[in-house]
Structure 1
Amino acid sequence: MTDPLTHLSKINRVDQFLIGGDWVTPQGSAFQAVIDPATETEIARIPLGDARDVDRAVAAARAALAGWSARAPQDRADILERLADLMEDRADMLAQCLTREMGAALSYAQTAQVPLAIAHVRTACEVLREFAFVTQRGTTAIVREPIGVVALITPWNWPLYQITAKVAPALAAGCTVVLKPSELAPLNALLFAELIEEAGVPAGVFNLVQGDGPGVGTALSIHRDVDMISITGSTRAGIAVAKAAADTVKRVAQELGGKSPNLILPDADLARAVPPGVAAAMRNLGQSCSAPTRMIVPRAHLAEVEDIVVRAVLEITVGDPRDAGVTHGAIANRAQFDRIQQMIEVGMAEGARMIAGGPGRPDGLDSGLFVRPTVFSDVRSDMRIAQEEIFGPVLCVLPYDTLEDGIAIANDTVYGLGAHVQGRHLDQARAVGRQIRAGQVHLNYPAFDPHAPFGGYRQSGNGREFGREGLLEYLEVKSMLGYFPQS
């Protein structure tokens, strides 16, 4: 099994950008350390790009646009299919890379982070092979055309997954791209760029520039030759990108923060409804924008729910992400570790009743960015821990008295990304789901569907990813009147 760092070092990729089909030396002189969160040691140093690197990458993408957009859709689909196959072949190395740079348990990287990333590429292929770029409405043709050069800004929590969720539909649409991955988890993007080349993506169609928000993100946002920005990140980052992009009136798609509810209906089978809810809230150590971290439960069943929650938390094993049997590894970076510790203290100060976990590291872990899965009960909706995105393994249990109250609590947030509803009677769960203001609602823990559009209401952003809607995001609409003869 090839070590990803050894591989990247051997081919001399860590200190280079992929621009115009060539691996080039960056223009800037700044570097940033990549830290293994399980050991808090430096494992690599990456260069941070600047506006000059962005100019070069955007120019390469612009030059490649005409040729790529003119390729037959089936040709583009064939290339993406090869990319997915190559990702399958290198899945173990990709998983190891994610474990080293962002702390995911290796088992989770192997069963979720990498397979779901591959699923986005395969889904883009499936959509593309069936997509009609020209449709008829009377004598008018409705033509879908690639929007152009797209800048993609991706986060550190699901780094490869978010790269493929953006790159695959953008390339499928016929766009050319400049990718800025998170500087906190950048190495998987280098492995992905290598696979892009091997899959036969033409030079300049995909460009990779490493860097931070001020140096590269802003330069992409204000660039006059960038037609669209797609960002996944915090609401704060999404607002900054939208403001920077406003002067050039480019399209901005944002997948931002969340504080997702999990509404347990009065008729729910608690033994079936509660443990998966704990697992969903704690997946990826809570570092998921759509994690259902507010469990809203009937007050009459609060004690029973608490007992089930505590037992479910005991099933979680936090430790070295490379060790067998570990289900949850380390928090991805120091800033997020500190944020989680701060918010646990806030919950205690607010008077929420802590029934599991607490501040500090788990027993036996004296170093590394490890946190204790924590649950607060008797949480009120006006508490900070119920309103602010913690982005860690912290679950809030909020009791309600009537179903109307429960729905109101579910909607009592500035966000609207994801939501869950649990109940024995599907008709009632459907009706409740329709009343929740969120872009994606899960009824009774369904299987992952890569074709289901994903995106938010309100401060969770705008635009959609995944499936047909994910492809549409990268297309312009042109109506051509008189295109078809009158009958």
Structure 2
Amino acid sequence: MRNYTKFYIGGEWVDPKGIKPLDVINPATEKPVGKITLGAPEDVNEAVKAARKAFESWSQTGIDDRIAMVMKIAEIYKKRAGEIGAAISEEMGAPVWLAGGPQAMSVLGHLMTSVEAMKTFKFEEDIGGSRVVKEPIGVCGFITPWNWPMNQLAAKFAPAVLTGCTIVHKPSEIAPFSSYLFAEVVHEAGLPAGVYNLVNGDGPTVGATISSHPGVDMVSFTGSTRAGVEVAKAAASSVKRVHQELGGKSPNIILEDADLGPAVAGSIATLMMNSGQSCLAPTRMIAPKSKMKEIIDLAAQAVADWTPGDPATAKMGPVVSESQWNKIQGLIEKGVAEGATLVTGGPGKPEGLETGYYVKPTIFADVTNDMTIAREEIFGPVLVIIGYDTEEEAVRIANDTEYGLAGYVQSGDIDHARKVASKIRAGYININNSQMDFSVPFGGYKRSGNGREFGAHAFDEFLELKSMLGYNPAAA
């Protein structure tokens, strides 16, 4: 049993002001595997105080010093990545291959990509006789999710620290173990006291306090659109900057000229990899009616490879919690009730997996874009297949959503794929199941959020612009 009841504030592990304990449940066993403490507003106050004090000096450090520190953090993290991967699997149910691979190792991708981008980043620009400079915004509040706990922390941590900001972080109380270990890493690396602070807690208490705190200069939130709205409301009173990476219902257009075998199998793998618990998952497959039977058959074959089971050995683990399982079950039942054709999967737990929050990988066909399962983010291993007659109709269906985080296009003709990709109203478009790229901006349109993460484009989220007129009078 893990006993992670202290908070990391001002470079020390301190006893919390909050006294409410919380059991952390392993979703594969439904049993407690550790305990944390839910923080109080007073804990946030102490963390903000430490972060504000640290900002005075950290914001004035040289770029080379910040880069050296992040590289040292990466070096130590790499040595502990296996331990952190095991914690991820235990806290949120990711299978071992995923938790120790993409889940844990994404941190190194973000840290090193950000370091390379920082080496050539320009903080100053002369315009006529004036100079425009970029300065760190100050204390940043991070509220991170349970589905990719280390990936989402690293995507915020790297640009914030490299630009000279300091941090108060609330990880998800459902999956807090990996963040606790990350705090141990930055402590071992010698990150100055107060640059990174960790306070566990729930959204209505610690999350809301971070969002509304007058000592926090910006808040970066990743999670549901519903929760993101609450963060923005809480932040409004202090007029702080709000960065949001929210929900998605990503379209995946299969064009007539696509190589259907790899197009469908690759799409299924992207969706099922984290038990469907990825905000950019290609959950709406928009397929030509002329090839619908073949596509449905290929999808069913591909899903057969994603059998859920014990995270120690299986390709797919459980979903994160009982409440998440119940939500997914309700939406699957809604799909059946609204007349979609159940191709495979369906309600209930897989045979032989009565213990654990396991969901049957599910495919619905004959879906129309007005059905609930085509509109709402299910956040589980559920695919809906929607037919189209013309390419124009496919694009219209793709864009007929309140979300705009990601989109996918499958085509055997790259020029054709590019043309269709340019018409999708989303921030992150993937052509032919390409690999993730940490160097390009990630974020969404519409109710999928605002601002961007990843690479050099993330730096601007943590910077203020200052214009100094008359700085170069001779050039005016």
TM class by shorter chain equals: over 0.9
Q: Amino acid of the residue matched to residue 441 of structure 1?
A: I
Quote the RMSD (CA, aligned, Å).
1.0
Q: Amino acid of the residue matched to residue 6 of structure 2?
A: Q
Cα distance per residue 1:54-94 (max 9 Å; x no partner): 11100100001010010001100111011111111111101
Check whether the contact 1:297–1:399 (CA below 8 A) recurs between aligned residues.
yes
Report whether the alignment pairs 1:387 with 2:375: yes
- Aligned with 2:444 (options 450, 453, 456): 456
Check whether the contact 1:283–1:291 (CA below 8 A) recurs between aligned residues.
no
Q: Amino acid of the residue matched to residue 460 of structure 2?
A: L
Match in the other structure for 2:419: 431
- Aligned with 1:314 (options 295, 304, 316): 304
Q: Amino acid of the residue matched to residue 339 of structure 1?
A: K
Distance 2:149 2:293 in 1: 38
What fraction of aligned residue pairs are identical, expressed as a percent? Answer: 50
Match in the other structure for 1:359: 347
Distance 1:29 1:473 in 2: 34
- Aligned with 2:406 (options 418, 435, 445): 418
Report whether the alignment pairs 1:58 with 2:48: yes
| Map 1:33-72 → 2, pairs under 5 A | 33-72=23-62
| Matched pairs, number | 475
Alpha-carbon deviation of 1:356?
1.0
- Aligned with 1:332 (options 302, 309, 320): 320
Check whether the contact 1:173–1:471 (CA below 8 A) recurs between aligned residues.
yes
Distance 1:483 1:84 in 2: 39
Q: Amino acid of the residue matched to residue 76 of structure 1?
A: R
Alpha-carbon deviation of 1:131?
1.2
Check whether the contact 2:106–2:150 (CA below 8 A) recurs between aligned residues.
no
Match in the other structure for 1:109: 99
| Map 1:180-219 → 2, pairs under 5 A | 180-219=170-209
Partner SS, residue 473 of structure 1:
helix
Distance 2:206 2:100 in 1: 31
| Map 1:86-165 → 2, pairs under 5 A | 86-165=76-155
Check whether the contact 1:74–1:128 (CA below 8 A) recurs between aligned residues.
no
Partner SS, residue 54 of structure 1:
helix
The unaligned stretches of length 5 or more in structure 2 are none
Match in the other structure for 2:435: 447
- Aligned with 1:397 (options 385, 393, 408): 385
Alpha-carbon deviation of 1:185?
0.2
Cα distance per residue 1:311-359 (max 9 Å; x no partner): 0011112101012xx1111111111111111111011001100111111
Check whether the contact 1:83–1:196 (CA below 8 A) recurs between aligned residues.
yes
Match in the other structure for 1:369: 357
Q: Amino acid of the residue matched to residue 270 of structure 2?
A: A
Cα distance per residue 1:269-294 (max 9 Å; x no partner): 11121110111111201101110100
Alpha-carbon deviation of 1:366?
1.6
Alpha-carbon deviation of 1:486?
2.3
Report whether the alignment pairs 1:269 with 2:252: no
Cα distance per residue 1:440-474 (max 9 Å; x no partner): 10111112110110001010010000011111110
Q: Amino acid of the residue matched to residue 156 of structure 1?
A: W
Match in the other structure for 2:280: 290
Distance 1:96 1:474 in 2: 31
Check whether the contact 2:223–2:246 (CA below 8 A) recurs between aligned residues.
yes
Partner SS, residue 70 of structure 1:
coil
- Aligned with 1:73 (options 63, 66, 69): 63
Partner SS, residue 378 of structure 1:
strand
Distance 1:367 1:51 in 2: 36
The unaligned stretches of length 5 or more in structure 1 are none
Q: Amino acid of the residue matched to residue 381 of structure 1?
A: N
Match in the other structure for 2:21: 31
Partner SS, residue 302 of structure 2:
helix
Alpha-carbon deviation of 1:484?
2.5
Check whether the contact 2:16–2:43 (CA below 8 A) recurs between aligned residues.
yes
Partner SS, residue 8 of structure 2:
strand
- Aligned with 2:73 (options 74, 83, 88): 83
Match in the other structure for 2:211: 221
Distance 1:357 1:24 in 2: 47
Alpha-carbon deviation of 1:215?
1.1
Check whether the contact 1:285–1:392 (CA below 8 A) recurs between aligned residues.
yes
Check whether the contact 1:49–1:210 (CA below 8 A) recurs between aligned residues.
yes
Check whether the contact 2:307–2:361 (CA below 8 A) recurs between aligned residues.
no
Calculate the TM-score normalised by the size of structure 2: 0.98
Distance 1:133 1:446 in 2: 32
Calculate the TM-score normalised by the size of structure 1: 0.96
Q: Amino acid of the residue matched to residue 45 of structure 2?
A: D
Alpha-carbon deviation of 1:485?
4.3
Q: Amino acid of the residue matched to residue 370 of structure 1?
A: Y
Q: Amino acid of the residue matched to residue 162 of structure 1?
A: Q
- Aligned with 1:171 (options 149, 161, 170): 161
Check whether the contact 2:350–2:360 (CA below 8 A) recurs between aligned residues.
yes
Q: Amino acid of the residue matched to residue 64 of structure 2?
A: Q
Distance 2:232 2:169 in 1: 17
Distance 1:385 1:108 in 2: 27
Q: Amino acid of the residue matched to residue 46 of structure 1?
A: I
